[in-house]
Amino acid sequence: MFTNRRPRISIAHLPTPLEPLPRLTALLRGPQLWVKRDDQTGLATGGNKTRKLEFLVAEALAQGADTLITCGAAQSNHARQTAAAAARFGLACTLVLRGHPPAQAQGNLLLDGLLGAEIVWAEDAPITERMEEVAESLRAQGHRPYVVPYGGSNPVGVCGYVAAMEELLAQAAREGLSFDHIVLASSSGGTQAGLMVAARVLGYSGRILGISVDLPADPLRRRMAELATATADFLGLPLSFAPGDFAVEDSYLGGGYGVIGEREREAIRLLARTEGLLLDPVYTGRAFGGLIDLVRRGAFSSQERVLFWHTGGVAGLFARPTLE
């Protein structure tokens, strides 16, 4: 494993399950559908950021940090997992969240407080700028903060999904499976970038399709190309990536980031009622809604096998009890 050369700590429950979706496959009459259960990584309801945090927290501890700082939306799954990792390793945690405090803490925000994180609201300021101000303030007080980037998406964090792709291919080989397509929610780009780095090295010939939840395709492709190239360099791999190497579908942005529409509601209800599997309202709900639409439009043949990479976020459901 080429990520072995980088510091890593054990947090996630790995390997995560690889499961078929037989009832939904039969209902949609399309390709054979499977799911990779990174909602089961085990860190305060799990999610994909846990894999990234195995590398990020290892670096923080190696640097002698006493505080983790990160940023995100009010219902950030990444912020909640960062808070949980900090608690597990005896670190303080400050979360810089977009906007203003809500009247009531629910979902991920409720868990952030339970996990002991300090919440700083960015209000009208850009969250990355506010995060740097918080970090400088802590340094001035004698603390040693480690700044975890938005989504954990830098070359250190992306190593988590380089390793994840290797895990998937080993699982598939043991079970005699191959996947023609891998479909996932793509936002900060780190998960898809890591999968692509490993796919290039390990010779995976299928398509990795990111369904964007907030950005148009072109800027997202550019971000991922830069991130994948930087990650390969970080790992000592002689690889470079161009935007055209990344498959991105941006037709399902709907009303914008975090705005729940009928596509997300249908996907959440359909997967729950056919397979007993929960999606979140922002990321996997949107991405799986896109996958359902692609199946219905005949984008995949019935002979193909399609893997949906479930990136977690189920705690966000409990901030939207009516899925309005």
Provide the token pair at 306.
């399609």
Residues contacting 55, CB < 8 A, separation 6+: 3, 6, 7, 8, 156, 157, 159, 160
For 281-313, the pLDDT digits (tens) are 999 999 999 999 999 999 999 999 999 999 999
Of 10, 76, 240, 251, which is the active-site residue? 76
Residues contacting 90, CB < 8 A, separation 6+: none
CATH number of 2-47+154-319: 3.40.50.1100
Question: Residue 57's CB: how many other CB atoms inside 10 A?
Answer: 26
Instruction: Tell me the CA end-to-end span of the chain in Å, nearest whole number.
Output: 44
For the cut 80, the answer to whether the pLDDT of residue 1 exceeds it is no
Provide the token pair at 154.
């830098």
Hey, which CATH number is domain 49-152, 3.30.70.1290, 3.40.50.1100, 3.40.640.10, 3.30.420.10? 3.40.50.1100
- Strand-pair category, 67-72 with 145-147: parallel
Provide the token pair at 60.
């923080």
Inter-residue contact 125 to 97 (CB < 8 Å): no
At residue 2, the pLDDT reads: 73
Q: Is 212 a catalytic residue?
A: no
- Give the pLDDT band of residue 315 (cuts 50, 70, 90): very high
At residue 246, the pLDDT reads: 98
Q: What is the 3-class SS of the chain, one letter each residue?
A: CHHHHCCCCCCCCCCCCEEECHHHHHHHCCCEEEEEEHHHCCCCCCECHHHHHHHHHHHHHHCCCCEEEEEECCCCHHHHHHHHHHHHCCCEEEEEECECCCCCCCHHHHHHHHCCCEEEECECCCHHHHHHHHHHHHHHCCCCEEECCHHHCCHHHHHHHHHHHHHHHHHHHHCCCCCCEEEEEECCCHHHHHHHHHHHHHCCCCEEEEEECCCCHHHHHHHHHHHHHHHHHHCCCCCCCCHHHCEEECCCCCCCCCCCCHHHHHHHHHHHHHHCCCCCCCCHHHHHHHHHHHHHCCCCCCCCEEEEEECECHHHHHHCCCCC
For 73-126, the pLDDT digits (tens) are 999 999 999 999 999 999 999 999 999 999 999 999 999 999 999 999 999 999
For 213-258, the pLDDT digits (tens) are 999 999 999 999 999 999 999 999 999 999 999 999 999 999 999 8
At residue 323, the pLDDT reads: 67
Tell me what the pLDDT averaged over the chain comes to: 96
For 171-211, the pLDDT digits (tens) are 999 999 999 999 999 999 999 999 999 999 999 999 999 99
Provide the token pair at 12.
């996630």
Inter-residue contact 197 to 237 (CB < 8 Å): yes
As annotated, the residues of the chain forming the CATH 3.40.50.1100 domain(s) are: 2-47+154-319, 49-152
- Strand-pair category, 207-212 with 181-186: parallel
For the cut 60, the answer to whether the pLDDT of residue 135 exceeds it is yes
At residue 258, the pLDDT reads: 87
At residue 324, the pLDDT reads: 54
